Structure 1
Amino acid sequence: MANVEEEPEIAPTSPTHPPSSYTLLLKIMSKRRTWVCSFVLVYGILLTSSWNFLKSLLSWYKIQAQSSTSGWPAVYASVLLGFVFGLLSMIAALAVVVPTVLVTWITIVVLLAFFGKPRRILVVEGRKITREIFSFVIRILLKEGNFVAAVCAVLGYFVLVRRNSEGD
């Protein structure tokens, strides 16, 4: 008789008990502070990566402010600073928005399925819902990003003008 190597049987994981790492991940991601921390982390990474741009903008402003007596260099620099910070806040908000929109979309489609909608109607409704959610989120992101840009531009202008007047 030939020796036949038997493979050890792999015990299937029980569907009622998910792995502990999965449960831990779900517990962590369900906390609001986790999403706030992820927003702050992404915003910090974006701000750090754009630090060289901000430093070059401020050095450009110093050169322009020394050679010009008008306040236009401060206006240009503050508008650019506001634009950068507004854009960074919108990108950082996407880190929080994408999972939230995905969960909302899945919830709505599942609820429609529970109410007995046929699959074809679910697909059509799912596309409509996706379009509506996406347009709603983009409108909010643009509104919030413009608000942050305006606040940063105004604050940047006053800081740059004060810095320029103290330098004289």
Structure 2
Amino acid sequence: MEQEKGQDAPPSTSPTSTPPLLPPPPPSSSYALFLTIMSKRRTWVFLFVLVYAILLVSSWNSLKSILSWYKYQSRSSSPSSCWPALYASVLLGAVFGLLSMVAALAVAVPATLVTWITIVVLLAFFGKPKRTLVLEGRKITIEIASFVFKILLKEGNLVAAVCAVLGYFAFVRKNSGE
């Protein structure tokens, strides 16, 4: 009786009992602030917009440099030469193709992650053992990543080709109009 009033009984040492869980150490204030900020949707929207703004500014600068190079080449070469227009249109197509692949990647990564998680969870629900689940998860990851990569390349090349053709005709039309 005295032991119950003054102190708690020592923890049981039986093999089936679980040791008492210790509370996690309190996070430092900067880490807690970082977690609070990163858990907000506004933060992720801001980061998304910031990355796309950087991409657009860099692509805009590269487009301006391509156009200034084309103007310089069209002045110095003969008006009947179509090579500067061809080079400039291929560069424009490459810039827009890369930009479209990056934009598609930003959408494809979360969708791919959700698909992968769904498949692995469904495999777990059907009673696959953990070892088999890990092996199947690796196979599925490789399969999904290769499929997404192939689609990104195909779509990026399509956008690049369309932009290159449109750019070529715009450059030739502009050159013949001058």
Which TM-score bucket, shorter chain as reference? Answer: 0.7 to 0.9
Sort the Cα spacing of 1:58 and 1:43 in 2 relative to 1 into closer, same or farther, 3 A: same
Scaled by the length of structure 1, the TM-score of the pair is: 0.73
The ranges of structure 1 where at least 4 consecutive aligned residues each deviate by more than 3 angstroms after the TM superposition are 40-45
Equivalence for 2:155: 144
5+ unaligned residues in a row in structure 2: which ranges? 1-38
In the other structure, the counterpart of 2:102 is 91
Q: Which amino acid aligns with 2:57?
A: T
Residue 65 of structure 1 corresponds to 74
Instruction: Choose which of 61, 70, 76 in structure 2 pairs with 1:52.
Output: 61
> What residue number does 1:8 align with?
none
1:60-111 Cα shifts (integer Å, max 9, x gaps): 0001011112110000000000011001100111100000000000000000
Give the one of 69, 75, 83 matched to 2:86. Answer: 75
1:45, distance to aligned residue in structure 2 (A): 4.7
TM-score, normalised via structure 2 length: 0.69
The structure-2 alpha-carbon separation of the partners of 1:42 and 1:145, relative to structure 1 and needing over 3 Å to count, comes to farther
Matches within 5 A, 1:14-33: none
Q: What CA distance in whole angstroms lies between the structure 2 residues aligned with 1:61 and 1:119?
A: 60
CA RMSD of aligned residues (A): 2.1
Q: Number of residues paired by the alignment?
A: 134
Q: Which has the larger radius of gyration?
A: 2
